[in-house]
Amino acid sequence: MFRPISLIVNILLPLFLALPASGEVLSEDTQWQGEIELQEDILIPAGVTLSVAPGTTVRIQPSENTRIDPEYMSHRTEILVRGTLQINGTGGDRVVFSSSSDDKSAYWAGIIVDGGQATINHTDLSKADAAVTVMGGRAVLSNSFIKESHYGLVAQSHKAALNLHNTVVEKNDYGILLLDEPLFDSDEKSIIRDNSKNDLFSAVSSGAVLTEQKYETPIAPLSATYRDEALPDYTVWKGRVLVDGQLRLPPESRLVIMPGTIIEFTKKDTNNDGIGENGLQVQGLIIAKGTPEKPIIFRSAEKVRSMGDWDSINILGSDLAQNIIEYCQIEDGYRGLHFHYSNVAVNKTILRNNYRGAQFQESLVSISNSQFYGNKSGIQTRDSEVAFNNNEIFHNLNGANFFRLNLQAADNIFANNNGEGLRIREGTSVLDRNLLAGNRMGLLVADAVYGSFNGNVMSGNLESGLLVRNSDHIEITGNAIQANGLNGISLRDTRAAISNNLINANGERGIGIISFDGIINNNNIVDNGLYGVGLEGSEDIDATSNWWGESDLDKEIYDTNDEPGLGRVNYAERRIAPLSFVWPLRNITSDTIWAGAIRVDELLTINKGTTLTVRPGVISEFSTEESGLLVYGTLKAAGKKDARIFFTSTAKAGSSDWLGIQLERATGSVMANCDFSYADYGLHIHFVPMEISGCRFINNDLGIRFRSGPIKLSRSLFSQNRIGIRAMRGNMDIFENEISNNEIGVFVREGGKGLKIYRNNFSNNERYNLRLGDFNKDDVDARHNWWGTDQPQEMIFDGHQESYIGIARFEPFLHAPLELNIKPPGKGEGGRE
Amino acid sequence: MIDSRLLIIVFFFLLLWAPARISAAEDFLFRGQIVDTANKPVVGAEVYVFDSANVKRPADFISNRTGGDGYFRVELPLGHYWTMAIMRVSGASFGPLGKDDKHSGEPIEIDSAGKNELSKDFTVMDLREAARVNQKRSETVIKISGHILNDDGLPVGMAYVLADQQRKFGDMPQYLSTWTETDGSYVLFLPKGEFFIGASKDFPPKSDYSLSKKVGFANDTTGIDLIIPSQTSP
């Protein structure tokens, strides 16, 4: 049968197998002098020095390409330094690096130092996206000018060092960005001034807490060795396989790799570019089906394994069945996975320490439950149909780059990448419930004509959480966009509907607008550093029906009222109460801040190492019996007397409407001035030292249940619960609380010797003020309380009723209630609107 | 001396000709049909016309709203334009699109040079339809999906689907799915035709394994559930 795709593939195959890098990799020490016209990227590898002679002028073509080869960093033309760059300008013979275009916005990428050393003397650098970026290694600038660039100088990560001597950084958009605590020093002669947006901006990302998984497989004896050859129709691999060449799997043939197999590739670098060429070229079908117990490993065969030792698992024109890569670990490659015109499923696979984890185009691809970490770039794809679900893309220099995809992406984490977490250009994209945290930029959407971004969390990114430019028909709904260094959302040349989002605690603007046509309605926009909405363009903006907290909107909004010539942000009518924002994710894996009103529909887990901060005044509603908070990290809910925090149910029908808040070794948690109602348990505390004060526990099955401690519980109200406080082997000081109208005030299940119950008011509890359980053998210290009666024993169940139970030591006791002044909730308090 | 009769003729000629000429010189007719992905005329759609490549703003011109035949027309001054068709469920004529609204995607450039009439048809689609149109799948392959269940009808995790043209397939069947998650759902890609299919938790499948179910597929099919007997499903 004639297949057009086969024809295309056969034409492309020779190119595909030996695809050269688009730039130039310097293979030996090199010197530039005179006039240099640079049209392609330059890579200075480790061990190689590029020297630039005095008086040299370098003009760089500012092309922006959709294709980046894995060893490069930018879409624009770049000089990438992994070795040494020595620029030797002098006072009389300066060196110039600039764009070859007269267009002011046509930037070249700049000099990027990735583990190398750049020494820059008497040099003028201009018209770059970032004149010098240090991602690792060191850049030393002396007697230089950095100007007319988007970013002047950027140093990112604690592995980066930037030193300035008598250097001027001026007339850029941003002067110097110091991200994630690089080493930086600048002498007193250096000047940073007149940069339009910021002279010096520094930020530390707040990323996700993720674990780099790693598969291990026992080493087996070598079972097969292959060189430059083709496999037969049907091949099964098991044990350990050595590939010492380019191994081809012809069309119509199949390769099945059994669980537990290790495939090792030797390094062959014929063009001396530092990148190995051995790999797999699959035109047939590959089934690499590992299991959790017996994963499959693809890696370098070298004694010291390095990134780029081998090429890739290339799959080309294989779309008549689904190629399967499951429970595999692919490391040390140039492109771990690389396919064109193919149908591939990648599941439970780890792609690490590759120049690029995966790259593909014109393919039908499912990638799920996989990790991409420690690669120069995590994944880059184009012109494909992609289901991308439940993956983690983190600790890469660049995260994910999707061009012209038909994309469905849900439940992924794009975190802690030096560049964008996710970059989408053109295509049809639907993104639901993803976390984009701790990247330099969370999500960048460019040139798209369709896009739905719903229920994602974009937080703690160094610059913007979401940047949309030159895009149309974009829907941005139900997202939490918070705690990003600059703007929550940045909009340029975009038409979109922005609604039902929580946009809070961003460093500068909640929404920064250069040009925008659309609506910004029904969002909660609060606690942003400079402005809720900052307008830099002349068009008017519809931003009605948003909740802005208590802000003075003259100050919260930057528009024509602040600078004539700008458009007007129309915010009337403003909402007087927050909208209920439905928290979209099931896990909190990065630091999170709740503001306004939050609704939770399921059991939300706060992972170890992360903090959920609940701002004063927040109303948190839980909508199902299974909903609640399970805290392994830290929960900080410090309400104020005049701005209490509410944890309650949506229905407010009765106790056990929702589960409650469970704290498991959640050290550092804080609870003050909070209300807990209609829960199975308001608080369920295991092994957490903490203080709880000023709280109210009403209409729960159990107000508080706890084990261990130590806990200080004070100035709180327990009312209308089945049991106010339930202790089990607890260490708690319970003092100055109002414990009334419960079925049982305090129940000590067992191990009550660590309790001190004093100076509380007990009253009107239906069965007992204090009930010691059948398993409690200890006496309990309960002196100096008012028991609502002069006969306290009548309302206490202890060893007086059952001899094997401990005794409640309640004498001496108070004969009148304490003036605690703890008020019950007022009518309508904690409700919305 | 100019003949007065000539002047009168010229005057009347100008009087009759000039307005038509002016109109023809400054306007041209842009028309066409708006259809959906099934090639059916779309009612209530409009064509938006912009005089620059920046189309993320209110349109400079808007056509009539289409009727049952899907035809639109709009008279435009001579020039170069960027055009797109939009159908809003709400009936509004401005602002961003909702998820059920349809549009024709990237703007289409038109130029009136040398013409007084220009025809262009548009296909509008919503996001879901655009996703279908942009599928990258080989036309010879179909997608089968369902769940792997045990005897009690409960989903089976860490299982997979096998398919082959032979009931007894030798070492390895031709087609496999990925491992299932705890919900037991699977997806399998096959060529059109008849296959024996089954499900297993063992990889490779045991040597005596035979595929029990014969099915024929001509199109994408959902809900093909497969049973793994409980004794092989620990």
d(CA A577, CA A526): 12
pLDDT of residue A191 exceeding 90, the answer is yes
Please report where in the chains the tokens 């070298």 appear, as a residue. A302
Considering only alpha carbons, which residue of chain B is nearest residue A287?
B176
Would you place residue A4 in the very low, low, confident or very high pLDDT band (cuts 50, 70, 90)?
very low
Q: For the ranges A83-87, A679-683, B18-22, B148-152, which has the lowest average pLDDT?
A: B18-22
Would you place residue B202 in the very low, low, confident or very high pLDDT band (cuts 50, 70, 90)?
very high
In this structure, the strands spanning B141-149 and B185-191 are antiparallel
Interface of B with A in 152-191 (CB under 8 A): 158, 160, 171-172, 174-179, 181, 187-191
Mean pLDDT score of chain B, rounded to an integer? Answer: 84
Report pLDDT digits (tens) over A749-778: 999 999 999 999 999 999 999 999 999 999
Q: What are the chain A neighbours of B103 within 8 Å (beta carbons)?
A: 449, 473
Where residue A777 falls (left for φ over 0; alpha for ψ -120 to 50; beta otherwise) is alpha
Residue B6 is predicted with a pLDDT of 54
Residue B17 is predicted with a pLDDT of 44
Would you place residue A273 in the very low, low, confident or very high pLDDT band (cuts 50, 70, 90)?
confident
Q: Hey, what's the torsion of the CAs at A343, A349, A352, A355, to 10 degrees?
A: 0
Q: What percent of chain A has pLDDT above 90?
A: 88
Would you place residue A496 in the very low, low, confident or very high pLDDT band (cuts 50, 70, 90)?
very high
**pLDDT (mean) for A723-739:** 96
What distance in Å separates residue A321's CA from the closest CA in chain B? 6
The answer, for B141 touching chain A at a CB cutoff of 8 Å, is yes
**pLDDT (mean) for A457-466:** 96
Please report where in the chains the tokens 């190629």 appear, as a residue. A323
Residue B231 is predicted with a pLDDT of 61
Q: Is the peptide bond before A20 cis (omega within 30 degrees of 0)?
A: no
d(CA A665, CA A668): 9
Report pLDDT digits (tens) over A645-670: 999 999 999 999 999 999 999 999 99
Would you place residue A629 in the very low, low, confident or very high pLDDT band (cuts 50, 70, 90)?
very high
Contact across the interface for A321 and B189, Cβ inside 8 Å: yes
d(CA A719, CA A655): 12
Which of B101, B141, B177 lies closest to A320 in CB terms? Answer: B141
Q: Tell me phi and psi for residue B27, to 5 degrees.
A: -120, 155
pLDDT of residue B22 exceeding 50, the answer is no
pLDDT of residue A365 exceeding 80, the answer is yes
d(CA A370, CA B179): 13
Residue B9 is predicted with a pLDDT of 53
pLDDT of residue A177 exceeding 60, the answer is yes
CB A552 within 8 A of CB A571: no
Residue A832 is predicted with a pLDDT of 39
Would you place residue B92 in the very low, low, confident or very high pLDDT band (cuts 50, 70, 90)?
confident
Task: Tell me which of A526 and B115 has the higher pLDDT.
Answer: A526
Residue A66 is predicted with a pLDDT of 55
- Tokens found for residue A667: 């050290």
Residue A742 is predicted with a pLDDT of 98
Other Cβ atoms less than 10 A from the Cβ of A568: the count is 15
pLDDT of residue A747 exceeding 70, the answer is yes
Q: Tell me phi and psi for residue A621, to 5 degrees.
A: -115, 140
d(CA A820, CA B196): 77
DSSP E strands, B88-140: 102-103, 108-111, 117-119, 122-123
Half-sphere exposure of A395 (CA within 13 A, CB side): 14
Where is A170: in which H helix or E strand?
strand A168-170
Would you place residue B93 in the very low, low, confident or very high pLDDT band (cuts 50, 70, 90)?
low
Q: Residue A652, SS3?
A: coil
Residue A345 is predicted with a pLDDT of 97
Contacts of B123 (CB under 8 A, 6+ apart): B34, B35, B36, B37, B39, B104
pLDDT of residue A172 exceeding 70, the answer is yes
CB A249 within 8 A of CB A279: no
Q: What are the chain B neighbours of A385 within 8 Å (beta carbons)?
A: 131, 134-137
**pLDDT (mean) for A465-484:** 95
Contact across the interface for A5 and B106, Cβ inside 8 Å: no
Residue A24 is predicted with a pLDDT of 86
Residue A5 is predicted with a pLDDT of 43
What distance in Å separates residue A364's CA from the closest CA in chain B? 6
Contact across the interface for A236 and B172, Cβ inside 8 Å: yes
* DSSP per-residue letters across A394-459: ESSSEEEEEES-EEEEES-EEES-SSEEEEEESSEEEEES-EEESSSEEEEEES-SEEEEES-EEE
Q: For the ranges A324-328, A354-358, B150-154, which has the lowest average pLDDT?
A: B150-154
d(CA B109, CA B30): 12
Contact across the interface for B103 and A473, Cβ inside 8 Å: yes
- Tokens found for residue A338: 């690389």
In this structure, the strands spanning A95-99 and A123-126 are parallel
Count of pairs with CB atoms under 8 A, one residue in A, one in B: 127
pLDDT of residue A11 exceeding 80, the answer is no
Residue A101 is predicted with a pLDDT of 84
Would you place residue B140 in the very low, low, confident or very high pLDDT band (cuts 50, 70, 90)?
confident
pLDDT of residue A312 exceeding 60, the answer is yes
Q: What are the chain A neighbours of B187 within 8 Å (beta carbons)?
A: 345, 366
Contact across the interface for B96 and A470, Cβ inside 8 Å: no
A675, A804, B86 from B45: Cα distances, Å: 52, 83, 6
Interface test with A, best of B102, B136, B169 (most A CBs within 10 A): B136
d(CA A513, CA A559): 10
Would you place residue A671 in the very low, low, confident or very high pLDDT band (cuts 50, 70, 90)?
very high
Task: Tell me which of A830 and A83 has the higher pLDDT.
Answer: A83
pTM of the model: 0.89
Considering only alpha carbons, which residue of chain B is nearest residue A288?
B178
Would you place residue B57 in the very low, low, confident or very high pLDDT band (cuts 50, 70, 90)?
confident
Mean pLDDT score of chain A, rounded to an integer? Answer: 93
